[in-house]
Structure 1
Amino acid sequence: MSDLPLLHVEYARNDLADLLRQDDVLAVLGFGRDAPPTGDDPRYLRVGLEPLQDRAPLEVWRAPGPISHGVAGRVRWSSTNDYCFGAIEVAEADFPDVATATEAAYSSLSAFARGGRWPHLLRVWNYLAAINEGAGDAERYKHFCTGRSAGTRELGTYFPAASAIGRSDGVPVLQVYWLASRVPGTAVENPRQTSAWCYPRQFGPTPPTFARAMRGPTATPQLHISGTAAVVGHDSQHTGDLQAQLRETFANLGSLLKSAGNLPAFDRNSVLKAYVRHREDLTRVEAALGGYLPPEIPRLILLGDICREELLVEIDGIHSVR
């Protein structure tokens, strides 16, 4: 474990231009059509997921500066000495299929990571349209997994924490953004779940390549939590039952905190996202989260398809111990 500073993540309703003038802002993310459009500053990206609210707060990443930023090929990036934010958007129309679009995005990501001062991926987010379209091996998520694996061969088996969610705006552009660091974190697996890269063949020709969480290389614990849903072993649980899926999801999150070093429960230093498949479930999930989380925990509820069509909700986030 190293002594990197904690990445500070918050949800804020500040003006975007004001945020980007602040010297500790590494990245800002907007959600949904009412968020400011992606502009010239590489630290900002608008994500194609609609929020529960008409206008969601901005997600702000802060780290001790100085901060540099720029564009390198497909990659928009910003960095401190310790951390790097990167983002890639790839139009599927420019490629034969989603697998080759994904391979191109991840090949660019891999080349950027290998060639820079921040080669260690801690956390990656992936958003693509129609993630569950297609039956069996033809499902788009399975093709995404094949492309991701092909594009990251040079990175070996150091798998980051990750989420893959279906865009709710339907725009056929693959969005990939990530957090990397100059020293590696420690991957964390969940004893209640099969490691994703060990999934049996029934889940596709190429298993997903991500860790269940990544403990950052920080002096005090900071856990980057992958998309977590109602999966036990390798099987989805409680098909059609939203409340039961939420109970199973929180059982998995509790198990992850324990596996990461008996970390304390979520508190005001945790920042969470819930992805919800059906629009009519957004407010139900909001109400249910009140039974699992103290009110002071920042949370964002977004409309987006989960990578398995039977799953109704998924939760990810960052948990810091201060």
Structure 2
Amino acid sequence: MMNYCDKIQYRILSAECAGFEEMVDTLLSGLPADEKILRLVFIGMPQSNEIYDLRRKIIYEKVKAYFGEHCPSLSYVAQPPLRGALLLEIHSYKSDAKDAVYYRSVDGMPYVIVDNEEGRFLFGGGFQADFLNESIEEQSEAVFHQIDRLLIKEGFPINSIVRQWNYIERITESKDDYQNYQAFNDARAAFYEKTTWPEGYPAATGIGTDWGGIVVDLDAVILKKENCSVLPIDNKLQVAAHAYSERVLAVSHKQKATPKFERAKLLSIEDKGLIYISGTAAIRGEESLKEVGLSRQLEITMENIAELIGNKGIVSMLRVYLKDKSFVQEAEQLMDAYKLSVPVSYMWADVCRDELLIEIEGIAKC
């Protein structure tokens, strides 16, 4: 019998270069017609925050016109795709009579609830400050305030978040010796301190964008059955990110909070599992592998992912972030050698440490 882990699906569509509205229409025309759409993530490259705002509005208007009252979680990520001019990542669901799917909004942001006998599953996204010219610290605090309102409205505790995608404009840049990623980490830590985390922090990615300020997407879960669970997955080859020493954190004139996420998170429903693979890079212990080239960093990254998903994990989708766009052909050839036969997207993006050339995240089933 199919359960939640079987029913949720992941796809990536790509549009070739054309007018922006035409590309959005092309991608929307490729959506599966027989599934409930839970999340849409558009990934493209505007040339400024002004253009980003304009294109984000175009996306929202077109998606709302397409779906009407059944609008999925929606976000626009300002990263240059390395294959295609505009990408669309789709999270969808093969619902049946046992599933109730609700499309709602908070502060104008659409989100989705799936409710069945196994649990309640929340899909939220596009959390973003109103003004992109505010500091990263102020934007991060505003974003977590939005998330808090949604969780309270739907009765999800903060520690029900199982997966979080954190997009941070100019992630490695600093203002007054306060690195943007560290500013985000401090705001996230303050939000997370409102509760305890008996089942571990969420799986997460913190990745750079060229524009857009802070954007956060998330999945949250409340399980109903005794034979269902959410568990953190450690990598014995790495120190947990939330246990990093101050030596590897960015210099900051304020507190230095560690990145509060697990290497992966396992959602187990009866005899099926869904593994959320956090942003993963060539780190052993808590140290990056430096000056070893892309090929070796990719190999170590994939070894780390294999350690997380184990022998029974089957990858469903991957995102590959490259620090230098000239690496894309080499990265594709190296990834093709793994013969995964799953959707893989390639983006040009700043990774959270200057010495890291590649980061990979994904979803696996087991």
Under a length normalisation based on structure 1, what TM-score does the superposition of the two structures give?
Answer: 0.86
- The one-character-per-residue Cα deviations of 1:200-228 (angstroms, maximum 9, x if unpaired) are 11214110000110111323121010000
Equivalent position of 1:174 in the other structure:
214
Preserved CA contact (<8 Å) 2:136 2:183: yes
Query: Which range moved further: 148-157 or 225-234?
Result: 148-157
Equivalent position of 2:184 in the other structure:
144
Counterpart among 66, 83, 92 of residue 53 in structure 1: 83
Equivalent position of 1:273 in the other structure:
319
- The one-character-per-residue Cα deviations of 1:51-90 (angstroms, maximum 9, x if unpaired) are 1112354211122254322321374311211321111122
Counterpart among 241, 244, 261 of residue 210 in structure 1: 261
The Cα of 1:290 is off from its aligned counterpart by 1.3
Equivalent position of 1:24 in the other structure:
36
> How far apart, CA to CA, are the structure 1 residues paired with 2:105 and 2:363?
26
SS of 2:327's equivalent in the other structure is: helix
Equivalent position of 1:165 in the other structure:
207
Larger Rg: 2
Preserved CA contact (<8 Å) 1:275 1:304: yes
**Distance 1:44-1:100 versus aligned 2 partners, 3 A rule:** closer
**Distance 1:93-1:310 versus aligned 2 partners, 3 A rule:** same
Residue type at the aligned position of 1:83 = F
Query: Does residue 196 of structure 2 align to residue 156 of structure 1?
Result: yes
Identity over aligned residues, as a percent? 23
1:243-282 to 2 correspondences below 5 Å: 243-258=295-310, 262-264=311-313, 266=314, 270-282=316-328
The Cα of 1:303 is off from its aligned counterpart by 1.1
Equivalent position of 1:221 in the other structure:
273
> How far apart, CA to CA, are the structure 2 residues paired with 1:229 and 1:217?
25
> How far apart, CA to CA, are the structure 1 residues paired with 2:128 and 2:328?
27
Residue type at the aligned position of 2:90 = V
**Distance 1:135-1:194 versus aligned 2 partners, 3 A rule:** farther
**Distance 1:251-1:208 versus aligned 2 partners, 3 A rule:** same
SS of 2:269's equivalent in the other structure is: coil
> How far apart, CA to CA, are the structure 2 residues paired with 1:18 and 1:218?
30
Query: Does residue 90 of structure 2 align to residue 89 of structure 1?
Result: no
What is the count of residue pairs matched by the alignment?
A: 309
Preserved CA contact (<8 Å) 2:44 2:87: no
Equivalent position of 2:148 in the other structure:
110
Query: Which range moved further: 192-201 or 147-156?
Result: 147-156
Gaps of 5+ in 1: none
Gaps of 5+ in 2: 15-25, 47-54, 65-70, 224-228, 251-255
Preserved CA contact (<8 Å) 1:272 1:316: yes
Preserved CA contact (<8 Å) 1:110 1:154: no
Residue type at the aligned position of 1:263 = K
Preserved CA contact (<8 Å) 2:37 2:72: no
**Aligned-CA RMSD value:** 2.6
Query: Does residue 329 of structure 2 align to residue 283 of structure 1?
Result: yes
Preserved CA contact (<8 Å) 2:235 2:304: yes
Higher strand share: 2
Query: Which range moved further: 125-134 or 294-303?
Result: 294-303
Q: Where in structure 1 do 4 or more consecutive aligned residues deviate above 6 Å?
A: none
- The one-character-per-residue Cα deviations of 1:179-220 (angstroms, maximum 9, x if unpaired) are 112226211111111111111112141100001101113231
Equivalent position of 2:60 in the other structure:
38
**Distance 1:44-1:27 versus aligned 2 partners, 3 A rule:** same
Preserved CA contact (<8 Å) 1:69 1:79: yes
Preserved CA contact (<8 Å) 2:281 2:300: yes
Equivalent position of 1:68 in the other structure:
102
The Cα of 1:133 is off from its aligned counterpart by 0.6
SS of 2:257's equivalent in the other structure is: coil
Residue type at the aligned position of 1:89 = Q
> How far apart, CA to CA, are the structure 2 residues paired with 1:281 and 1:91?
35
- The one-character-per-residue Cα deviations of 1:146-172 (angstroms, maximum 9, x if unpaired) are 1111122224334100001111xx224
Preserved CA contact (<8 Å) 2:162 2:219: yes
> How far apart, CA to CA, are the structure 1 residues paired with 2:196 and 2:331?
37
> How far apart, CA to CA, are the structure 2 residues paired with 1:8 and 1:32?
22
**Distance 1:199-1:50 versus aligned 2 partners, 3 A rule:** same
Residue type at the aligned position of 2:128 = E
> How far apart, CA to CA, are the structure 1 residues paired with 2:195 and 2:328?
37
Equivalent position of 1:299 in the other structure:
344
